[in-house]
Amino acid sequence: MTITTRETDMNERTIISVRNLVKHFPIETGFLRRQVGVVKAVDNVNFDLNEGETLALVGESGCGKTTTSHCIIQAQRPTAGRVLFRIGDAEPMDLTQMEKGELKEARRNIRMIYQDPYSSLNPRMTLLQIIGEPLVIHRMVKNQDDLQERVAELLRLVRLDPSTMNRYPHAFSGGQRQRIAIARALSLSPKVVIADEAVSALDVSVQAQILNLLKELQNQLGLTYLFVAHNLAVVKYEADRVAVMYAGKIVEIGETEALYSNPRHPYTEALISAAPNPDPDTKHRERIVLSGEVADPGNLPGGCAFHPRCRYAEDRCRQEMPELIDVGGNEIQSHQAACHFAESLELTGIAGPTLREEGGSA
């Protein structure tokens, strides 16, 4: 199914457009599996992924960041909304409307890397089989020699020794396994890579290797990344833009540096404040410690879902759900926040309290 560009508001740099994405899971009970409620895992999410950029989805467990990424590749079918994907100058396709067979081409172009390289790689397959499998399935290689040559090339790309291609994953460390997973993801020369907590399970010295490798590969191959993560410092290093999610919604989205130094949603401010920094001088600074826990997406509070934990909450927040509104940025990089008081609150970012300039020209 194709859609003309005019029907959408995709601009020419956009490769994936997520529009009003909703994913609800029913809560069922009893023998008859009667539905008694609904978990709003993703609740009306909108964003554009632009070609060549890294957009991070960040938030705590249960915020819907992983479900959003699964809904993009249709690993889970969204309840409502559209996921528009466009390759080059072709008309965008709405992935949510496509049958399994039709999705093959899109899935060749949107690949995933998962968190745990110990469970995402089949222990009974050699590297040649693991990395070569997608090439065989998509008939991208002519014969066995061709396959070996391509796999060797991919192994070199992720800085692994091609002579190891007949070995099994157990012979490799966590960082090396993640390189194998990356090689597999890149085997079909995709346009977009979704990295779901791809470095969270790694030790810091190895995590840094993988972060830098992902950046090099992006420059080399012109990849677009959707980087799903919970670690704010890692996201700051890796992403050009950041979308902060809370209870199934995007509460703030903007260019990384602007969002970190000048957050406009109280949740973003609290996340930044809570992130531990390896500097003992910051030990005595006043931290914002949120009380309570992340809202239960199966039983969301009324109004703004963040209001029970928000230190700035007023009556309006308990009644009225805030919409994402423009709070600065420019035509190319907008900065939006979903808070009734986004314009008036003086929030603190990583640089300490900042003086906001009118019109966000800073």
Partner 1 sequence: MTGIQRGGTAMDDLAPPAAGMNGALLSVRNLQTHFFSREGVVKAVDGVSFDIKPGEILGIAGESGCGKSVTSQSILRILPKNGKIVGGEILFQNEDRTVDLATEDADGRVLRDIRGKEIAMIFQEPMTAFSPVHSIGDQIIETIRIHQEVSKEEAHDQAVEMLRRVGMPNPARNIDEYTFNLSGGMRQRAMVALSLSCRPKLLIADEPTTAVDVTIQAQMLELLRDIQADLGMAIIMITHDLGVIAELTDRVMIMYLGKEVEHGTVEDVFHRPQHPYTRGLLASIPKMEPGRVEIEPIEGVVPNPYAMPTGCKFHTRCPDFIAGVCEKHDPPLTQVAKGHEVSCFLYGGRERLE
- Which spans of this chain sit near partner 1 (rule: CB under 8 A)? 60-61, 173-176, 203-209, 211-212, 230-234, 236-238, 257, 260-261, 270-280, 282-283, 287, 289-291, 293-294, 349-351
State the first-to-last Cα distance of the chain, in angstroms, to the nearest integer. Answer: 43
Nearer to partner 1, 9 or 293 (CB): 293
Closest distance to partner 1 from the beta carbon of 143 (Å): 34
Give me the least distance between CB of 252 and partner 1, in Å please.
Answer: 15
Q: What are phi and psi of 244, to 5 degrees?
A: -95, 125
In the chain, where does DSSP find H-type helix? 65-72, 103-109, 127-137, 144-157, 174-186, 204-221, 232-238, 256-261, 266-274, 315-319
b/e sequence 166-199, b meaning 16+ C-beta within 10 Å: eebbeebebbbbbbbbbbbbbbbebbbbbbbbbb
Kindly state the smallest distance separating residue 166's Cβ from partner 1, in Å: 19
- The smaller minimum CB distance to partner 1, of residues 54 and 209, is found at 209
Least Å distance, CB 231 to partner 1, is 8
- 241-246 and 249-255 strand pairing: antiparallel
Provide the minimum distance between the beta carbon of 28 and partner 1 in the complex, in angstroms, as a whole number: 19
Q: Residue 22 or residue 300: which is nearer to partner 1 going by CB? A: 300
Contacts of 355 by beta carbon, 8 Å cutoff, 6+ apart = none
Question: Cα–Cα distance between 361 and 359 in angstroms, integer?
Answer: 5
Smaller CB separation from partner 1, 135 or 243: 243
For the bound state, the minimum distance from the C-beta of residue 272 to partner 1, rounded and expressed in Å, comes to 7
71 Cβ partners below 8 Å, 6+ apart? 21, 23, 42, 77, 78, 81, 83, 96
Cβ(126)–Cβ(166) below 8 Å: yes
Chain centre distance of CA 308: 26
Nearer to partner 1, 286 or 346 (CB): 286
**What is the Cα–Cα distance from 169 to 130, expressed in whole angstroms?**
9
Q: Which is nearer to partner 1, 144 or 282 (CB)?
A: 282
Of the two residues 30 and 280, which places its CB atom closer to partner 1 in the complex? 280
User: What's the closest the beta carbon of residue 6 comes to partner 1, in angstroms?
Assistant: 39
